[in-house]
């Protein structure tokens, strides 16, 4: 199956996930980084995003009734 045909079969979200999976696997297999290094960077990014989202939804002032 061609890459184009595979992309046609997937939703945009799953196509993106498949691309990330392929790139991650290739980079690990080529020795660019290890699985452990990938996981550490993944967790680092997730924690950074969590802090960003927490700041965005935190109320800046209370409304008194």
User: Do the beta carbons of residue 38 and residue 28 sit within 8 Å?
Assistant: yes
pLDDT confidence of 57, banded at 50, 70, 90?
A: confident
Q: Give the CA diameter of the chain.
A: 63
pLDDT in tens, 5-50: 998 999 999 999 999 999 999 999 999 999 999 999 999 999 999 9
In a domain, 62, yes or no: no
Domain count, the chain: 1
Query: Do the domain assignments include residue 13?
Result: yes
Residue 23 forms part of a structural domain: yes
């Amino acid at each position: 199956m061609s890459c184009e045909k595979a992309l046609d079969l997937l939703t945009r979200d799953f196509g993106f996930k498949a691309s990330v999976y392929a790139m991650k696997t290739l980079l690990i297999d080529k020795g660019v980084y290890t699985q452990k290094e990938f996981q550490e960077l993944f967790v680092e990014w997730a924690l950074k995003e969590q802090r960003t989202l927490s700041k965005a939804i935190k109320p800046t002032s209370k409304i008194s009734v």
